[in-house]
Structure 1
Amino acid sequence: MSLYLSHVTLTYPDGAARVTALDDVRLDVPAGSLTAVVGPSGSGKSSLLAVAATLITPDRGQVVVAGTDTTGLGRPELAALRRTRIGIVFQQPNLLASLTAAEQLQVMAHLDRRAPRTVRARALELLDAVGLADQAGRRPHQLSGGQRQRINIARALMNDPDVLLVDEPTSALDHERGAAILDLVATLTRERRTATVLVTHDESHLGVADRVVTMVDGRLRADTVPAPA
């Protein structure tokens, strides 16, 4: 399954006028591939993720998530789609201070009322996948910034999403830890066959992406190119 945006336009009110955040955007991200989106601040990258996540409905255009055309879907249907088909890795992990690493993940699956034993096993599996199997019982204050971001990624994968949306995951990390996080995102994308969109200002590690696109003034530049070797 893939993520597909076609002729997407999004505007925001600005006094008596409207500002165009996304201008006729087209993007196709196949399953098992990672597309990196770069561009200056205010260019529309965050708006692109919000629309792809179905958190904002565009003025015009089509958003297809894992074969489901989201056009015309109501709030309950969109919420169910996000819960089962979309994983979001936020810029800041925002982990709950009172919960262990495993419990951070379990909270997500409890929304679907899964059996506790199944949820626990899934959480431990994903912690192992991100290299934190031995940290399952630790709380956020006992973990490094890189470890907290790995938990953030594992949490986004808890419900086995088809689409993974990643927002500036290295912004609070040093160069080495940032590289490790992006390598992890790329590896999980291919192993778990997600259609992944990564928004980043850090252009030093774009080699992990299958494709790099540049957003300027709400438009994806026509000279979309493969990621550097």
Structure 2
Amino acid sequence: MSLTLHDITLTYADGEGRLTALDGVDLDVPAGTLTAIVGPSGSGKSSLLAVAATLVTPDRGRVVVGGTETGALSAAERAELRRRRMGIVFQQPNLLASLTALEQVELMARIDGHGRSAEIRERARELLATVGLADLAHRRPHQLSGGQRQRIGIARALMNTPALLLVDEPTSALDHERGAAVLDLLGRLTRERGTATILVTHDRARLTVADRVVELVDGRVRATPGSPSQCGT
């Protein structure tokens, strides 16, 4: 499933005026590719991710997810699209203190009634193994490192087999080695699972994992999507 953003403009109230967060942004993310979004603070990166996730409706433009024009959907239908077709990895994993790593990953499928209990548990175990945490399945968040908690967030986002994966600053709280491991994991999972992935990041040192790099400055695309080296990284 691919993602297309066409002529996206988004503004926010700013006193008596309007602040432009995104200004005519075009972006295509084909299935099985990872697009990295970079830019200074306030450039519109988080706004772009929110629009792509259908959490925010733009003032102008089209958001097309897997051929579906999301502007024509009701709020309930957009929520259903997010639940069934998207995985969102937040900057902070926001794990529940009382749940084990395995239970964290199971949670969304259980809420959604996505399969039988035994099937849900088996899939959660497989995902923990995929992110290298099979032996930590019964640990709670306070017993895990920052990198381990971030990887649980990735496994949780993959639980319902999303076709679109949206990842916000996954390495911001990690050291270089752990951050590199997380980015390499996202690149591998994107290609193995055929997801369309957007990665918002400040970590320019590891952008070789991306198929394309898009730089946002003042809400506008500054560089034409291409290889990392073509985008000035």
**Normalised TM-score (structure 2):** 0.96
Partner of 2:215: 214
CA-CA distance at 1:228 after TM superposition: 3.5
What are the Cα deviations for residues 199-227 of structure 1, in whole angstroms up to 9, with x where unaligned? 00110000110111100000112433312
Q: Secondary structure at the match of 1:196?
A: strand
**Partner residue in 2 for 1:130:** 131
Report % sequence identity: 70
In 1, Cα distance between equivalents of 2:134 and 2:121? 12
* SS of residue paired to 1:13: strand
Distance 1:189 1:67 in 2: 19
Asked if the contact 2:7/2:25 (under 8 Å) is kept, the reply is yes
Aligned to 1:69: 69
Segments of structure 2 that go 5 or more residues without pairing to the other structure are none
What's the counterpart of residue 87 of structure 1?
A: 87
Paired with 1:158 and 1:6, the residues of 2 have a C-alpha distance of 29
Q: How many Å separate the matches in 1 of 2:224 and 2:73?
A: 33
Residue identity opposite 1:132 in structure 2:
L
Give ranges in structure 1 of 5+ residues lacking alignment.
Answer: none
**What is the alpha-carbon distance in structure 1 between the residues aligned to residue 134 and residue 69 of structure 2?**
37
- Matched to 1:216, the amino acid is V
Looking at structure 1, the residues matched to 127 and 109 of structure 2 have their Cα atoms a distance apart, in angstroms, of 12
CA RMSD of aligned residues (A): 1.1
* Counterpart-to-counterpart distance in 2, 1:15 and 1:37: 28
Distance in 2, Cα, partners of 1:208 & 1:228: 12
Question: Equivalents in 2 of 1:209, 1:101: separation in Å?
Answer: 28
What does residue range 8-87 of structure 1 map to in structure 2 within 5 Å? Answer: 8-87=8-87
Aligned residues: 229
CA distance in 1, matches of 2:86, 2:4: 13
The corresponding residue for 1:159 is 160
Q: Is the 8 A contact 2:35 2:210 kept in 1?
A: yes
Judge conservation of contact 2:125–2:134 (CA < 8 Å) in 1: yes
Tell me if structure 2 keeps the 8 A contact 1:50–1:56: yes
**Cα displacement (A) at 1:177:** 0.6
Measure, in 2, the Cα distance between the counterparts of 1:164 and 1:67. Answer: 16
Q: Is the 8 Å Cα contact of residues 187 and 210 (structure 2) preserved in structure 1?
A: yes
| Residue of structure 2 in register with 1:194 after alignment | 195
- Distance of 1:226 and 1:111 partners within structure 2: 39
Structure 1, residues 149-175: CA drift from partner, whole Å, max 9, x if none?
100100010110010001000000001
Superposed CA offset, 1:109-168 (max 9, x none): 112213211111111111111111111111111111111110010001011001000100
Question: Which is worse superposed, 197-206 or 112-121?
Answer: 112-121
Distance in 1 separating the partners of 2:224 and 2:161: 33
User: In structure 1, how many angstroms separate the alpha carbons of the residues matched to 2:221 and 2:85?
Assistant: 24
Q: Which residue of 2 aligns with 1:181?
A: 182
Contact 2:211–2:226 under 8 Å retained in 1: no
TM-score by structure 1 length?
0.97
Letter in 2 for 1:36: A
